[in-house]
Chain A
């Protein structure tokens, strides 16, 4: 093969040239001890072309030593999979962003996601129906009496917030003079501008210290204002900023003057923000407006120094960071004295854990409360919540629960006795008392608590120690047993507990375990393979497919990613996830308000 040799010689020369340029000489440059080994490794890595691969295969077929060598190379390489996969600390992104040079500009208007829905026509001509005084005077009679919250909005916000609003805008504008000019047409026709942007001007007090729509959606999360107590009763009141009659003419003029005085780029940002807000579904828009109100009131009540800290933050992300820090501190200060006493003297880790636990409890209460609202609405309209509004939904869900969790057999059910009792009670109330809403909530919560993963296509899933051979013997005697109490015989609980034990007890010397469950599509049961081929696979992007492929042969990472991807594409994995759209389950029975986090991809 003269050509091949020529290529090798040239390759060596090029390599020698490139290597001496950039790297010091090392043992990498000595001739290979065994050229066949390089071919073998490349073959195992799938890097040989068909002819070269065939060459290696022929040798493997005839040479047992070569086979042994190949096997040792592969298996030692597979051992690297035992290395723990290190994860970045949770605040990695925040810390990295904080290190950005000070010139890092906030997102440009071009970066804002464009509204998906055609923009609400009322927002374009700036006269939302609610903001027409005549239309409203009749409607107000139907509204519940104004609460003190309402008074804050009218009297407090519109005037006092404005005093520092200008300062806030100016600080932001000074730190980041943005050069993007507003479209000329809008700037020249000043009178028309006022007419068409009346709604925006009325809402101006809500937009103080607000960068853009992404920022608003972040504010709506529970870390910020999504869990603000003032929102709890919000369903009973109209959203702020939609009634022009609540703002006196003189205030409106002050606001107009303030808006006129803003830098062009800031005006443009505000228009964009207002447009996007108005293009949302009414329920989402109202909720976001209430969030903005809660934020504005909060900002108004902050001590001057802190308020300035929020307003002068150079980027939206830094601003969010400042807000979160202040909210966190306020939350701690508001704790009852007994709880505060409990926290003092604890070391930071324990303190953090306890705070986390309290927050989780709080979130759970909120969740229940929010669901009670939904149930009340369903009672009012006399319609069962999805999916129990159809006969098949009322049949399929209990059937899914029965087969997946064996709810009909107390001895073999995956649920703890307490959970099983709770489930059965809910089911009975649903079937006899038509209480499907609570049944749905119970089912949703239980499926979140008890993770389900695909069983292997063939053979029994691993649920006992003796299925693990020698390694099982080792673990059964060890401390792993504590973690698997009550889980033996249950899939995937036993395997997950064992896996968690192996990952947590790094100091113990333990034998390697065989794979604890199927970690490739090919090993999944047929119904799931079919689901993959017909529904999931066609929807995946290249990157998602890649992510999944990289987890192949890792359990439980692979099946977990598989399920997560199905969820992401709003597909229910048969026998694993509750039948029906995962997103709908999440929206109706979970506590997710917004369609998804924004800063995360």
Chain B
């Protein structure tokens, strides 16, 4: 494949692409540099997706090895990180599905299908006052759990959006979806997170937002 004019320009601007092109040309130092440069982001994303440190490292490693194995096929057409996270997304989704097929270890990850438990049934937050809940669980555990309640695709979209600061178009590219699909995916995910976590947000000194008496789903669920 020939690199077109625009992608050549893009490659010149983006140091990550330049680095990857060196990896493509069998430069082992460049590969080491690539691993150094992206390991933190990749391990963090994998950890947020899988909820398990060892597995996250293994998978992140697998992503890098895959990058290395397919380096000859690399053509600089999008942002390098988008390409990297596309590989990461595929591996993570496979791993999550494998886990479901072998339900031997009941980790934090939940079933995501239509029959899976709804977050409203599982998380505390609707009947107990927040102070009580905090005695039951650390805040981070609660958040982690809320994240695990999302189905895999929602979780991928949220993690990329929140922790990688990715916009919808890039998420769409990584996940092989349309931007619009990403929009509704994220909207559902955000609604689920809100339902699961809104019991924990007004603990600080800030007053709750103004609420009128109408039967809004928000006001009826809180307290």
Contact = CB atoms under 8 A, between A and B. Distances in A.
Interface of A: 8, 11-12, 14-15, 18-19, 22-23, 26-28, 32-34, 37-38, 40-42, 45, 47, 64-65, 67-69, 71-73, 75-77, 79-80, 82-89, 92-93, 95-97, 99-101, 104-108, 110-111, 214, 315-317, 469-471, 506-512, 514, 541-543, 546, 549-550, 599-601
Interface residues of B, number: 86
Contacts of B209: 67-68, 71-72
B186 A79 contact: no
Contact of A15 (B25, B181, B197): B181
Contacts of A34: 191
B39 A88 contact: yes
B26 A27 contact: no
Contacts of B188: 27-28, 32
A96 B151 contact: no
Contact of A111 (B25, B187, B197, B218): B25
Given A64-B212, A68-B218, A110-B27, A18 B178 contact: yes
A95 B36 CA distance: 12
A265 to B, nearest CB: 13
A32 B35 CA distance: 40
B181 A19 contact: yes
Given A71-B209, A107-B28, A214-B29, A96 B44 contact: no
Interface in B105-125: 112-114
23 contacts: A19-B177, A26-B112, A38-B183, A38-B184, A64-B211, A65-B212, A67-B210, A69-B216, A72-B194, A87-B43, A88-B43, A88-B60, A92-B39, A93-B32, A95-B61, A96-B64, A104-B28, A107-B30, A111-B27, A469-B205, A470-B205, A542-B13, A599-B29
A77 B193 contact: yes
A111 B28 CA distance: 9
Given A82-B143, A511-B203, A97 B40 contact: no
B32 A317 contact: yes
A86 B204 contact: no
Nearest to A7: B180
Contacts of B114: 26-27
A600 B36 contact: yes
Contact of A47 (B22, B40, B167): B167
Among B14, B29, B44, residue most surrounded by chain A Cβ atoms (within 10 Å):
B29
B151 A28 contact: yes
Given A93-B39, A105-B28, A26 B153 contact: yes
Contact of B210 (A64, A469, A546): A64
Contact of B57 (A82, A92, A550): A92
Given A71-B209, A76-B200, A506-B140, 13 more contacts: A19-B177, A26-B114, A26-B151, A80-B193, A83-B140, A92-B57, A110-B25, A110-B27, A111-B30, A508-B138, A509-B136, A543-B15, A601-B36
> What is the interface of chain B mostly: helix, strand, loop, or mixed?
helix
A65 B167 CA distance: 27
A77 B190 contact: yes
A113 to B, nearest CB: 9
B210 A97 contact: no
Contacts of B191: 33-34, 37, 73
Contacts of B138: 506-510
A317 B210 contact: no
B101 interface: no
Contacts of A601: 33, 36-37
Interface in B35-76: 35-37, 39-40, 43-44, 47-48, 53, 56-57, 60-61, 64-65, 68-69
B29 A100 contact: no
B210 to A, nearest CB: 5
B102 interface: no
Contacts of A12: 180
Contact of B211 (A68, A95, A101): A68
B44 to A, nearest CB: 5
Given A28-B154, A549-B165, A601-B37, A99 B25 contact: no
Contact of A14 (B47, B168, B178): B178
A458 B222 CA distance: 35
Contacts of B39: 88, 92-93, 96
B108 to A, nearest CB: 13
Given A88-B57, A107-B27, A599-B36, A83 B144 contact: yes
A72 B154 contact: no
Contacts of A23: 153
Nearest to B52: A86
B190 A41 contact: yes
A96 B35 contact: yes
A508 B139 CA distance: 10
Contacts of A93: 32, 35-36, 39
A37 B35 CA distance: 39
A264 B200 CA distance: 68
Among B137, B161, B180, residue most surrounded by chain A Cβ atoms (within 10 Å):
B180
A79 B165 contact: no
Contact of A86 (B47, B162, B187): B47
- List 4 A-B pairs, minimum CB-CB distance, nearest first: A38-B187, A111-B27, A86-B47, A88-B43
A512 B139 contact: yes
B135 interface: yes
Contacts of B201: 72, 75-76, 79
A26 B165 contact: no
B118 to A, nearest CB: 10
A80 B147 contact: yes
Nearest to B202: A75
Contacts of A82: 139-140, 143
Among A76, A100, A214, residue most surrounded by chain B Cβ atoms (within 10 Å):
A76
B134 A83 contact: no
B64 to A, nearest CB: 5
B4 interface: no
Among A214, A508, A601, residue most surrounded by chain B Cβ atoms (within 10 Å):
A601
A444 to B, nearest CB: 28
B178 A15 contact: yes
A73 B61 contact: no
Contacts of A110: 25, 27
B181 A88 contact: no
A372 B40 CA distance: 39
B185 interface: yes
Given A47-B168, A97-B32, A471-B204, A108 B181 contact: no
A77 B198 contact: no
B207 to A, nearest CB: 11
